[in-house]
């Protein structure tokens, strides 16, 4: 049943990317008389979100644009639709402004230089079902490619990486959030000084954590090559990790390499250790897993080997000491940060339910709630199909934060805030009011640097002013959250 | 391209997807080329991925391009179709994919009826209809016998044909002689005047040209096409420069022939007054090049686009002799005299072989003089040629377009690129009247029916899957 103030229309064939549509939705929602607005591609996930908002969406295909408006007064429809058209036109004009009379290229293939000796890199972030084709274009042109897109099948990932290996090329991803090449950040990337450390990362936010800790210790990063979260799985067998290590090994500017990964397949980890030992450049492996060092310890170990003193990792805000609730609620945008938090907290608190659980029996259902300790990765594939990543679009996490804050069982809320190129321009602005309104203590891991567009100290100060305890080290933040709960199980 | 040492920044980054990441790179002062990505044609995502992942594809397409670009089309002679094509009395060739009489359009029927009268099988062309309907007279596509025919493309045994040959492979293709404009057989007209002209072409023009080619030696058709593109012809709807260059090559030998001065003068006047005369050499030259790419497993290159007035069909290098067909569209353009859209037949003819090879509508930018004739503007023409580069595998280094800074003609339509971009091949075409006997009613622009490209892609994907997991 659609209320008289609700309006839903389908616009077939009017494609725009999810980030653009997020901005359009925000602009329309800010129009006087509009109570709520969602302009999105009609993917199953988005249709579900619209359904949960109470909109009745007619049959449509994922290639259709759906415009859903909730109005204060039905008479405001014309103005609201005008605002949608204006916002869409503005988004298009923003892109067209940069173009000349010549239409922009329509495929990765035609956007690459026809020939030459330039070092060109391709960055693919189209919806997952279409990413393979664009990435193959890059490999066909003899060019390395970073595939930011998630929801690419494992079969396609293996095929892509096999082609790359045959041609001596590097595939970063799929689902590679972060890379830095010669100081240029790709995807979500922090601004750090150049230096002797090379990073190979099967995890985006893990890579960011390591880069930001090194920056805080005064050590620069020469290159950070992402390989995608599944590269160290049995099926993929570390194909891209090996290529990345080989590249870094042949680069005279790189003195030491750190490999960062979510928990890898054991046999792949073993083979990788052997491979790493065969290279000239010293390789350190920071492979997360039970009984393994966390990322902060891994960085501390690396600093030791570089002969650099370990600093005291920055933190701010008022330390919370007690809480009425007993449960830990971790709400993450970074998958590796979530993994690391679960590994650390499990030791003290026992099993933790999650949508990316350490053990299959700990999986959460679609409601993402449970009567127990839980941690959610809002950046997981199943929560980003047809939506922007939560590092860009905070909507879904803010919704769950409000629910956790209102739940008397909540003892501590643990959050990550990841800064850098590509991420939200001012994440603290949206989070601070929610933190201030939260009864239970809030501990935040704020991963960033002073040179990031958002500026680490400003974000940390805003979060602290709202009442949160803020740490640069995710491991430190998790240990503080556990301590506040008194380590109770 | 050279993969970078990881500690050195890339010279530039190409981005496809969220504009945010392109912006982030620009803010770091990195040159960015941003793809205007759009979803592919509906339902093609899986087949696109399958074909993109086909291990044969890249080398197969490289080979297809190499072969097409390697062909030198030489006009080596002329002779009657009966001698060249083993064409028997009562059997005819026609344009487009295979067709049955009951589905044949007005101009196709008119041309076949006129050809039957021309061969003396019937006195009155109207009497031929019954014989075609009963199967007493038969017909098959020109393409199936190495030939191409403009518009209805009807070839009968006594018509003279050009013979184009690639010296390296000795492969040959064929095409009939151009009849001029207006009421002509290829537009479905079959009046006495039409048949009289065909008779003169058979008795005077064909033998005269054959003698001239024999005497002066082969004519380099590919070379003439190269010059045409630099002289304002796109070699489909404008062949003025090409026609005059052909005359330049052949007229001395024509003047020295055993034919009377009157015959020679009449032939020179006919050719000189017919701006499309060279089209019938351009077409088989294009087919000769494209046929070189037939039968390359894994190649996604289109080797023929063709219409019979009812269906539009394509053939693809990697799918053997299969035709992928859909309903032919009515062109959008300008009409002669009092004719209007209601008079026009759906698109017809093998002449889209020129677009398949990269000229015609694909090289529209080379021919600003005719853009209005086909209903466009000069900026449209430049944009069209650039757009065709989005769906083609290569640029022809020989066929350069001066106004685009000598960029090569867009060559080798890639089925998967058409499906990815939704950009359809642009074809320049003439329009036949839909009633048999009418003749030409206009000219304009047309595209293939979109659905034939996903159909061809699906067949390519099925072959790729079959190779990946051979059935037991």
- pLDDT at A489 (0 to 100): 45
Partner residue facing B20 (CB), from A169, A254, A392:
A392
Interface of A with B in 105-134 (CB under 8 A): 105-114, 116-127, 129-130, 132-134
- pLDDT at A395 (0 to 100): 87
B21 CB neighbours in chain A (<8 A) are: 123, 125, 148, 186-187, 422
A123 CB neighbours in chain B (<8 A) are: 13-17, 21, 25
φ/ψ of A324, rounded to 5, equals -85, -35
Distances B450 to A61, B359, B381, B423 between C-alpha atoms, Å: 19, 21, 21, 9
Distances B248 to A390, B48, B272 between C-alpha atoms, Å: 70, 48, 11
Closest CA to A358 of A452, A430, A263: A263
pLDDT at residue A156 is higher than 60: yes
Q: What is the pLDDT of residues B367-412, one digit of tens each?
A: 998 887 776 789 989 999 999 999 999 999 999 999 999 999 999 9
Q: Per-residue confidence at A445, pLDDT binned at 50, 70, 90?
A: very high
Quick check: B301 and B414 in contact, CB under 8 A? yes
Q: Map tokens 């290569």 to a residue.
A: B394
Token reading at A166:
């045959």
- Dihedral Cα A431, A318, A462, A414, nearest 10 deg: -30
- pLDDT at A43 (0 to 100): 83
pLDDT at residue B318 is higher than 80: yes
pLDDT at residue A60 is higher than 60: yes
Q: What is the pLDDT of residues B412-446, one digit of tens each?
A: 999 999 999 999 999 999 899 999 888 889 889 99
Q: Per-residue confidence at A262, pLDDT binned at 50, 70, 90?
A: confident
B58 CB neighbours in chain A (<8 A) are: 140
Instruction: Tell me the mean pLDDT in the region B343-369.
Output: 96
- pLDDT at A463 (0 to 100): 97
What is the number of residues in chain B? 472
pLDDT at residue B472 is higher than 60: no
Asked if B420's CB is within 8 angstroms of A133's CB, the reply is yes
Closest CA to B353 of B55, B150, B106, B105: B150
Token reading at B245:
């260059």
Q: Is A246 on the interface with B (CB under 8 A)?
A: no
Q: Which residues of B95-133 are buried (b: 16+ CB within 10 A; e: fewer)?
A: bbbbbebeebbbbbbbbbbbbbbbbebbeebeebbebbe
Partner residue facing B24 (CB), from A118, A140, A421:
A421
- Provide the 8-state DSSP code for A162: H
A392 CB neighbours in chain B (<8 A) are: 20
Instruction: Tell me the mean pLDDT in the region B168-173.
Output: 98
Give the HSE-up count for residue A475: Cα atoms under 13 Å, Cβ half-sphere: 18
Asked if B4's CB is within 8 angstroms of A119's CB, the reply is yes
Instruction: Tell me the mean pLDDT in the region A352-372.
Output: 91
Closest CA to A22 of A430, A403, A356: A430
Mutate to test the interface with A, among B2, B11, B12, B17 (most CBs of A within 10 A): B17
Taking the CA of residue B107 and the nearest CA in chain A, the distance in Å comes to 37
pLDDT at residue A95 is higher than 60: no
pLDDT at residue B157 is higher than 80: yes
- The set of residues, in sequence order, having a beta carbon less than 8 Å from that of A302 and lying 6+ positions away, is A197, A214, A256, A258, A284
- pLDDT at A318 (0 to 100): 83
pLDDT at residue B271 is higher than 80: yes
- pLDDT at A195 (0 to 100): 95
Q: Is A223 on the interface with B (CB under 8 A)?
A: yes
Closest CA in chain A for residue B416: A133
B423 CB neighbours in chain A (<8 A) are: 106
- pLDDT at B406 (0 to 100): 94
- pLDDT at A62 (0 to 100): 81
pLDDT at residue A97 is higher than 60: no
Asked if B16's CB is within 8 angstroms of A124's CB, the reply is yes
Q: Which residues of A380-397 are buried (b: 16+ CB within 10 A; e: fewer)?
A: bbebbbbbbbbbbbbbbb
- pLDDT at A94 (0 to 100): 56
pLDDT at residue A486 is higher than 90: no
- pLDDT at A101 (0 to 100): 63
Give the HSE-up count for residue B352: Cα atoms under 13 Å, Cβ half-sphere: 32
Asked if A168's CB is within 8 angstroms of B7's CB, the reply is no
Per cent of chain B over pLDDT 70 is: 99
pLDDT at residue B43 is higher than 90: yes
Taking the CA of residue A199 and the nearest CA in chain B, the distance in Å comes to 10
pLDDT at residue A100 is higher than 80: no
Per cent of chain A over pLDDT 90 is: 70
Partner residue facing B58 (CB), from A111, A140, A247:
A140
- pLDDT at B173 (0 to 100): 98
- pLDDT at B143 (0 to 100): 98
Interface of A with B in 269-298 (CB under 8 A): none
- Integer Cα distance of A256 and A308 in angstroms: 13
Asked if A122's CB is within 8 angstroms of B20's CB, the reply is no
Q: Per-residue confidence at A323, pLDDT binned at 50, 70, 90?
A: confident
Instruction: Tell me the mean pLDDT in the region A208-219.
Output: 97
Lowest mean pLDDT among A94-103, A257-266, A380-389, B292-301: A94-103
pLDDT at residue A13 is higher than 50: yes
Partner residue facing A107 (CB), from B10, B24, B421:
B421
Maximal C-alpha separation, chain A? 72
Helix ranges (H only) for B237-377 are: 240-255, 261-272, 279-291, 353-357
Q: What is the pLDDT of residues A279-321, one digit of tens each?
A: 999 999 999 988 899 999 999 999 999 999 999 999 999 877 7
Q: Is A392 on the interface with B (CB under 8 A)?
A: yes
A222 CB neighbours in chain B (<8 A) are: 6-7
- Integer Cα distance of B25 and B5 in angstroms: 19
Q: CB count, 10 Å around CB of A410?
A: 21
- pLDDT at A93 (0 to 100): 66
- The set of residues, in sequence order, having a beta carbon less than 8 Å from that of A7 and lying 6+ positions away, is A67, A68, A69, A70, A71, A77, A80, A81
Asked if B1's CB is within 8 angstroms of A133's CB, the reply is no
A207 CB neighbours in chain B (<8 A) are: none
Asked if A98's CB is within 8 angstroms of B10's CB, the reply is no
Q: Per-residue confidence at A22, pLDDT binned at 50, 70, 90?
A: confident
Q: What is the pLDDT of residues A174-200, one digit of tens each?
A: 999 999 999 999 999 999 999 999 999
Q: Per-residue confidence at A168, pLDDT binned at 50, 70, 90?
A: very high
Token reading at B262:
């009157």
Interface of A with B in 69-108 (CB under 8 A): 94-95, 98, 102-108
pLDDT at residue B3 is higher than 90: no
> Average per-residue pLDDT in chain B?
95
> Average per-residue pLDDT in chain A?
91
pLDDT at residue A488 is higher than 60: no
Q: Is A6 on the interface with B (CB under 8 A)?
A: no
Instruction: Tell me the mean pLDDT in the region A127-138.
Output: 97
Q: Which residue has the higher pLDDT, A27 or A201?
A: A201
Sign of CA dihedral B87, B92, B96, B97: negative
pLDDT at residue A142 is higher than 60: yes
- Integer Cα distance of A57 and A241 in angstroms: 44
Closest CA to A128 of A154, A143, A149, A155: A149
Q: Per-residue confidence at A322, pLDDT binned at 50, 70, 90?
A: confident
Instruction: Tell me the mean pLDDT in the region A136-152.
Output: 95
Radius of gyration (Cα) for chain B, nearest Å? 23
């Amino acid at each position: 049943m659609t209320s008289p103030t609700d309006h839903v229309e389908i616009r077939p064939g009017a494609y725009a990317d999810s980030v653009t549509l997020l901005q359009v939705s925000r602009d329309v929602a800010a129009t006087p008389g509009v109570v709520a607005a969602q302009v999105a591609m009609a993917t199953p996930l988005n249709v579900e979100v619209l359904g949960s908002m109470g909109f009745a969406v007619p049959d449509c295909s994922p290639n259709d644009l759906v415009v859903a408006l909730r109005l204060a007064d039905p008479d405001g429809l014309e103005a609201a639709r005008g605002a949608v058209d204006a916002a869409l036109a503005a988004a298009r004009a923003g892109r067209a402004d940069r173009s000349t009379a010549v239409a922009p290229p329509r495929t990765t293939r035609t956007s690459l230089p026809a020939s030459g000796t330039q070092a060109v890199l391709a960055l693919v972030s189209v919806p997952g079902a279409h990413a393979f084709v664009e990435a193959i274009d890059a490999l066909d042109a003899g060019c390395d490619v970073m595939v930011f897109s998630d929801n690419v099948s494992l079969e396609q990932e293996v095929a892509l990486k096999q082609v790359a290996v045959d041609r001596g090329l590097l595939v970063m991803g799929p689902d590679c959030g972060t890379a830095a090449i010669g100081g240029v950040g790709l995807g979500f990337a922090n601004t750090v000084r150049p230096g002797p450390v090379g990073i190979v990362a099967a995890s985006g936010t893990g890579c960011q954590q390591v880069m930001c800790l090194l920056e805080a210790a005064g050590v620069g990063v020469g290159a950070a090559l992402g390989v995608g979260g599944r590269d160290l799985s049995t099926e993929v067998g570390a194909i891209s990790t090996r290529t990345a290590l080989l590249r870094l090994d042949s680069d005279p500017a790189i003195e030491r390499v750190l490999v960062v990964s979510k928990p890898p397949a054991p046999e792949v980890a073993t083979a990788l250790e052997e491979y790493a030992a065969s290279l000239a450049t010293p390789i350190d492996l920071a492979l997360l897993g039970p009984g393994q060092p966390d990322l902060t310890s891994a960085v501390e170990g690396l600093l030791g080997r570089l002969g650099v003193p370990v600093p005291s990792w920055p933190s701010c805000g008022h330390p919370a000491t007690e809480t009425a609730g007993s449960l830990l609620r971790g709400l993450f945008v970074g998958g590796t940060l979530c993994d690391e938090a679960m590994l650390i907290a499990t030791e003290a608190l026992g099993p933790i339910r999650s949508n990316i659980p350490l053990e299959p029996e700990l999986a959460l259902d679609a409601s993402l709630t449970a009567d127990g300790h839980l941690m959610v990765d809002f950046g997981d594939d199943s929560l980003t199909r047809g939506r922007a990543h939560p590092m860009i679009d905070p909507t879904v996490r803010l919704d769950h934060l409000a629910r956790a804050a209102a739940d008397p069982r909540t003892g501590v809320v643990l959050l990550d805030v990841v800064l850098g190129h590509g991420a939200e321009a001012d994440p603290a602005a949206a989070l601070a009011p929610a933190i201030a309104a939260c009864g239970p203590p809030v501990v935040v891991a704020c991963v960033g640097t002073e040179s990031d567009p958002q500026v680490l100290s400003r974000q940390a100060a805003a979060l602290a002013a709202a009442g949160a305890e803020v740490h640069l080290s995710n491991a430190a933040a998790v240990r503080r959250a556990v301590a506040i709960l008194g380590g109770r199980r | 391209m050279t993969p970078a040492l990881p500690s050195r920044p890339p010279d530039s980054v190409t981005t496809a997807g969220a504009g945010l990441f392109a912006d982030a790179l620009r803010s770091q002062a990195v040159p960015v080329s941003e793809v205007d990505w759009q979803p592919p044609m509906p339902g093609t995502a899986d087949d696109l991925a399958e074909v993109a992942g086909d291990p044969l594809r890249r080398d197969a397409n490289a080979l297809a391009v190499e072969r097409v670009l390697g062909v030198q089309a030489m006009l080596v002679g002329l002779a009657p179709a009966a001698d060249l094509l083993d064409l028997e009395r009562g059997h005819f060739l026609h344009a487009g994919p295979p067709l049955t009489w009951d589905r044949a359009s007005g101009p196709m029927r008119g041309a076949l009826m006129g050809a039957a009268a021309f061969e003396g099988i019937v006195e009155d062309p109207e009497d031929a209809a019954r014989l075609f309907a009963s199967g007493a007279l038969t017909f098959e596509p020109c393409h199936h016998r190495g030939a191409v025919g403009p518009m209805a493309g009807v070839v009968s045994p006594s018509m003279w044909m050009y013979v184009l040959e690639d010296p390296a492979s000795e492969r040959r293709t064929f095409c009939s002689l151009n009849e001029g404009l207006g009421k002509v057989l290829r537009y479905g007209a079959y009046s006495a005047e039409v048949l009289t002209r065909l008779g003169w072409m058979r008795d005077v023009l064909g033998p005269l040209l054959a003698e001239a080619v024999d005497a002066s030696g082969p004519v380099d058709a590919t070379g003439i096409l190269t010059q045409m593109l630099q002289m304002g012809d796109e070699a489909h709807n404008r062949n003025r420069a090409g026609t005059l260059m052909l005359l330049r090559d052949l007229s001395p030998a024509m003047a020295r022939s055993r034919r009377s001065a009157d015959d020679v003068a009449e032939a020179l006047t006919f050719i000189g007054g017919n701006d499309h005369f060279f089209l019938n050499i351009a077409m088989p030259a294009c087919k000769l090049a494209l046929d070189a790419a037939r039968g390359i497993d894994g190649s996604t290159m289109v080797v023929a686009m063709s219409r019979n007035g009812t269906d539009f069909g394509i053939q693809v290098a990697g799918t053997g002799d299969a035709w992928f067909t859909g309903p032919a569209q009515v062109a959008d353009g300008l009409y002669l005299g009092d004719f209007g859209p209601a008079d026009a037949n759906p698109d017809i003819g093998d002449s889209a072989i020129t677009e398949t090879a990269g000229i015609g509508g694909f090289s529209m930018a080379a021919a600003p003089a005719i853009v209005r004739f086909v209903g466009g503007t000069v900026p449209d023409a430049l944009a069209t040629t650039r757009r065709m580069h989005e769906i083609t595998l290569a640029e022809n280094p020989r066929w350069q377009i001066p106004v685009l800074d000598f960029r090569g003609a867009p060559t080798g339509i890639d089925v998967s690129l058409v499906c990815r971009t939704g950009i359809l091949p642009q074809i320049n075409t003439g329009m036949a009247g839909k009633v048999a006997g009418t003749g030409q009613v206009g000219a304009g622009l047309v595209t293939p029916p979109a659905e034939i490209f996903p159909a061809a892609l699906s067949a390519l994907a099925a072959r790729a899957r079959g190779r990946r997991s051979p059935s037991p």
